[in-house]
Amino acid sequence: MVILVIAGVVLSLQFGGNSHGPENEEDLFDNEGRYDSSNLNYMGVIYSNRSDILNWNGGYSESTNCPWGRVHNGLDFAFRNDTDVIAAAPGIVEAIELSFLVNGTVYKVAVLIRFNSSLMIEYGFEGFSEDVEVRAQQVAMLDIEEGDWVAKGDVIGQFLQGGGGDHIHFGIYVGEATCPVPFFSPDAYAELMELVHSFQPTWNLCYP
């Protein structure tokens, strides 16, 4: 882990890998009775209003046999500028990580929220900018810090839409990335499919 300070904001940086499982699978997770962590089958959507979403950029795929033609370990939502990103499920903010993709031209501020000892949810604020001030601005727009407990529906932060391609990358990790469909509530899944089909009428959320 590396500590970086940008415009007075302290970030812990971790690089590489798509696994966000616990270091020791035997670690006990105690949410002190805040919610039912035995089974996540009640996850909601991450937006307050469907009108918050500019575009649906792609879903989860384990091969190139999908409409977007590449392996992709999450769901991409192009949020409008300054709109709320909300927690799909409860948990504890385990880490806020800044990583750099595509030779430093794309950044991701990843908010990692642990639901239980085996399941982690990632809210990746991804933007196309090499400007450190832009990246610091997105960090400043977060409403949570490491160690905070969040409830389903809490605001994680506001999204900084700086230009074409900026989006939220939403991922579920059970050791490794996995299709999020089984974790949504029936109502949330129906809402999400209506959103997707409003942009891409034939697309599914996940492709094997």
Residue ranges of the alpha helices (H) in the chain? 132-140, 186-199
CB 129 within 8 A of CB 115: no
Write the pLDDT tens digit of every residue in 22-45.
444 446 899 999 999 999 999 999
From CA 29, how far away is CA 138, in angstroms rounded? Answer: 30
Write the pLDDT tens digit of every residue in 71-101.
999 999 999 999 999 999 999 999 999 888 7
Residues above pLDDT 70, as percent of the chain: 86
Write the pLDDT tens digit of every residue in 124-143.
999 988 888 888 899 999 99
Residue type, 149: W
Sign of CA dihedral 58, 64, 69, 73: positive
CB 58 within 8 A of CB 76: yes
From CA 29, how far away is CA 121, in angstroms rounded? Answer: 15
Q: What is the pLDDT of residue 16?
A: 36
Q: What is the pLDDT of residue 193?
A: 98
pTM score, whole prediction: 0.86
CB 44 within 8 A of CB 186: no
CB-count exposure of residue 180 (10 Å: 0-12, 13-18, 19+): buried
What stretches of 14-162 adopt beta strand conformation (E)? 53-58, 60-61, 75-79, 84-86, 91-101, 106-114, 120-128, 149-150, 155-158
CB 147 within 8 A of CB 93: yes
- The radius of gyration of the chain's CA atoms, rounded to the nearest angstrom, is 16
Residues 6+ apart with CB under 8 A from 44: 86, 88, 89, 152, 153, 184, 185, 188
Q: What is the pLDDT of residue 57?
A: 84
Question: Is pLDDT of 7 > 50?
Answer: no
Domains in the chain, please, with CATH?
A: 2-14+42-207 (2.70.70.10)
Among residues 127, 63, 74, the alpha carbon closest in space to that of 100 is found at 127
